A and B are shown apart, each in its own frame.
Chain A
Amino acid sequence: MSSRKSERLINLTIALLATKRFLTKSEILRTVEGYEGSSEAKDRMFERDKDDLRSLGISIEVASVDPLFEDEPGYRIRHENYSLNLKDLNGQDIALLSLAAKAWQEASLGSAAQSALIKLNSLGINSDYQSIPSLSPKIFVDSPHFLPLLDAISERNSISFQYLTQSAQYEVRKVNPMGIGNRFGHWYLVGFDIERDSLRTFRLDRIGTELTVGKKSFVFEIPADFSASGYLDISLERPTDMAVILIRKGKGHDLRVRAESITEGDDFDTCVIPYPYLQTFLNLLLWHGDDVIVESPAHLKESIIATLRKLVLIHE
C-alpha cells in the first residue's frame, strides 16, 4: 500500500518538475500513473498528494485562473524552488558543512543532520578534508524542549512555561524567545520576559515538562543588534566581585585556573579570583575544605566562617 503511494507521489513530482507549462488537474489525473477509482476518489487523492508534497517542503506553483483552461487551475514545480540552493561550493565547503552536520550524532537534530548530509553528498563534489584541521565536533543536547524552542524562535511565537527559580519553586514565565546558546555544559534560552519587561536567560533543564507555544506567528520582533552570545556573556560570565583566596601549594586546581593573579607564598599562594555569584563560589570554596582560606571580601569571609560552623554542627 505505502509503496503504491510513494510511487504515485514520485510520479507526480517528476511530472510537475518536467513540465515547462502548467498542467491542469484533469491532465494530471489522466496521465500520471496511480490515480484510480471514481473521479471523486481521484480528486481527493490528488488534493491529499499536493498537501503531502508541500509538507515535504516542495513548493507547488499554482496558476489560478488561466482563460486557456476554462478556470481550471494549473500546477508545476519550479526547479529553482525544488533544488538545493547552495551555490558555488568547493571541496573545502563540503568538508566544513559535513563536519557541521556530523557534530549532531544522535542528538535532537541528528536525523535532520543526517538527511542534510545525504543531500550535500549528492552534489557530486568531493569533500576536501586535507584543507582543514583534524576535528571531531560534537554537540550534546538533552532537553526535549530544544527543537520546539528553535521553532518558536524562528516563527516568533510567544511561549510560556514553568520555571524552577532560585528558591526551588516553579513559576510561570511568559517569554518572547529570541536566541539559544550553551555555556558551561548547559543550554540557555535568551528571551524577553513579558511580565518582567526585560531580557532574561533561562536554563533549558530548569524549564518544566510543559512548554506552551502560542498559535500566532511573528508576534514580536528581534532587535537588529540582538546577539545571543553577547547577552549570554554579559548575564552569565561577567564577574561581579573579586576575592582574595589563600590556596595551599599544589591544591585548588580548578580555583587556580580562574585566578587573575597568583602570588607565590610558603605554604599557601595568594590568588585573586573573580566570581559572579557568591553562593556558587562559596560552594566551590567549601569543596576544597582546609586547602583554602578566604582573605577578602569581608562578607565572603563571614559567610564561609558561618557555613563551616554549621557544617561542623550538623555532622556532630
Chain B
Amino acid sequence: MSKKLPTSGLEGASRLLDLAPYLLTHQGIEISELAREFAVPEKQILADLNTLWMCGLPGYTPLELIDISFDSGYVTIRNAETLQDPRSLDKNESLALLLGLSYLHEQLSAESAELANEITSLILKVRTSLATVSPQQMDVVSVISPSIRALIEEAIANRTSLIFNYHSKSKDSLDNREVSPVELYVENGSEYLIAFCHTANDYRNFKLARISEISSSARQSSSHSAVTVDPARISAQIELLDFSRNVVERFPLATPTGNRIMDLDTFNVEWLVREVLSFSGEIRLLSPIEGRRLAKERAARALAQYSDTKGAGIPLL
C-alpha cells in the first residue's frame, strides 16, 4: 500500500483536498493514525500538513490561512471551511462502491428485504455520479459467503475454535473437523484457512469453498504461531497428447509444436491420478510409476463396471 515519497504535485494536491475535510471531522487525530488511513508514510503526512498550513484565501494573512497545529502529535485544524466538503466521487471510486454494493445486495437479499432495499437506494444515489453505468450491467457474486468469512476472522481474532464439515477432494470424503484457525490466505484466486485441526492433531490447510455447516465452538485455542504446512513434494512427469483449451489453461507453458512433456510437483499422488483421469485422455501420466499404475487400475476398474453393457466387455484391441 505504501507509495513512494516524492509524489507529484497533482497527486499531492488531490490528497490535500481529501485531508482537509477528513481533519475537520477528526479533530485531534494522531499523526500515525492519519498516515494509516491515507496509506502513506508519516513523513508524507507531515509534509502534507506543512503544505496545507500555507494555503488559504487570497490575502494570505493569518486571518485567511488555514490554521493547523500538530506539534503534539495530534492534529487539529481551523479556518478551513471552504474545503469542508469531501469531493465528489470520481469514476473509479463510484465503480468500486457500485460493484461492492451490488455484491452486498446479492449476499443480503435473502437475509433481509429491508437491507436489500436500503442497498438499492444507495446504488441509485452513487449512480448519480456515474450516469452511464447501471446496476443491471454488473453482477458480483461470491464463492465464499461473507458471513462465513466474518465468523472465521472473528475466531482468529478471539482465538476461539470452529467446527465445520470439510469435503476433501482428493479423498472424496466429508468429515467433521474441530479446528483452531490461524490465518486466511489467498492463492490462485482461492481462499484458504490455515488451522490447527484437533481431529488430525496437526496443522492443516482448508479451502474455504469446501467448508460447510460452520459454527463456533467453546474450545479456547492455545497460542498458535503461524506455521507453514510443507509436506513432502513428489515430482511427476506428464505428457500432453491433445491441446484442448482445458489443457492449455492448466499448462500455460505448453505449445502444440514444442513442449509436450511437463514436469510438475505434487503433494499428493491421489490428487495427481484423479486430475490426470479427469483430462479425458488428453494427457497421460509418465511418472511416478506407481501413479501411472494407479491411473490404469482405476480406469480399468471403472470400465469393468460397464462389462454387462454391450461392447464394453470386449478386450482392449
Which residues of chain A have a CB within 8 Å of any CB of chain B? 1-7, 9-11, 13-15, 17-18, 31-33, 52, 55-58, 79, 81-87, 89, 92-93, 96-97, 99-104, 106, 109, 111-116, 118-124, 132-140, 142, 147, 150-151, 153-156, 164-168, 178-185, 205-206, 222, 226-229, 232, 250-254, 279, 282-284, 286-293, 301, 304-305, 307-316
Contact = CB atoms under 8 A, between A and B. Distances in A.
Contacts of A279: 246, 280
Contacts of A251: 172
B317 A313 contact: yes
A9 B11 CA distance: 11
Nearest to B128: A85
B215 interface: no
Interface in B79-122: 82-83, 85-97, 99-101, 103-104, 107-108, 111-112, 115, 118-119, 122
Interface in B225-283: 241, 243-249, 256, 274-275, 277-281
A226 B189 contact: no
Interface of B: 1, 6-10, 12-14, 16-18, 21-22, 24-26, 37-39, 47, 50-52, 54-60, 82-83, 85-97, 99-101, 103-104, 107-108, 111-112, 115, 118-119, 122, 125-126, 128-130, 132-134, 136-144, 146-147, 149-151, 153-154, 167, 169, 172-174, 186, 189-191, 209, 241, 243-249, 256, 274-275, 277-281, 284-285, 292-293, 295-296, 298-306, 309, 311-312, 316-317
A262 to B, nearest CB: 14
A137 B303 contact: no
A154 B130 CA distance: 8
Contacts of A250: 173-174
A252 B18 contact: no
A184 B209 CA distance: 10
A100 B82 contact: no
Nearest to B132: A154
B57 A113 contact: no
A180 B55 CA distance: 43
A121 B22 contact: yes
B100 A104 contact: yes
Contacts of A287: 274-275, 277-278
Contact of B309 (A52, A180, A183, A301): A301
28 contacts: A2-B9, A5-B10, A6-B10, A6-B12, A6-B51, A17-B83, A18-B57, A55-B10, A81-B88, A84-B89, A86-B89, A96-B101, A100-B100, A100-B103, A115-B93, A133-B108, A134-B154, A138-B146, A140-B189, A178-B137, A180-B137, A185-B143, A226-B136, A228-B138, A250-B173, A253-B173, A283-B279, A311-B277
B316 A314 contact: no
A43 to B, nearest CB: 18
Contacts of A115: 18, 93
A164 B90 contact: no
Given A52-B13, A123-B86, A179-B137, A309 B95 contact: no
A291 B173 CA distance: 12
A164 B248 contact: yes
A246 to B, nearest CB: 9
Nearest to A102: B100
B167 A312 contact: no
Contacts of A288: 172, 274
B274 A289 contact: yes
Nearest to B9: A5
Contacts of B14: 56
A65 to B, nearest CB: 24
Given A10-B13, A13-B17, A251-B172, A305 B93 contact: no
Nearest to A23: B58
B88 to A, nearest CB: 5
B301 to A, nearest CB: 4
Contacts of B10: 5-6, 9, 52, 55-56
A309 B311 CA distance: 11
Contacts of A140: 186, 189
A228 B136 contact: yes
A106 B118 contact: no
B142 A137 contact: yes
Q: What are the 3 A-B residue pairs with the smallest beta carbon separation, nearest first?
A: A5-B9, A100-B100, A181-B139
Contact of A86 (B17, B99, B125): B125
Contact of A6 (B13, B25, B38, B112): B13
A289 B54 contact: no
A17 B16 CA distance: 15
Nearest to A217: B132
A135 B147 contact: yes
B60 A314 contact: no
A137 B278 contact: no
Contacts of B87: 56-58, 82-84, 119
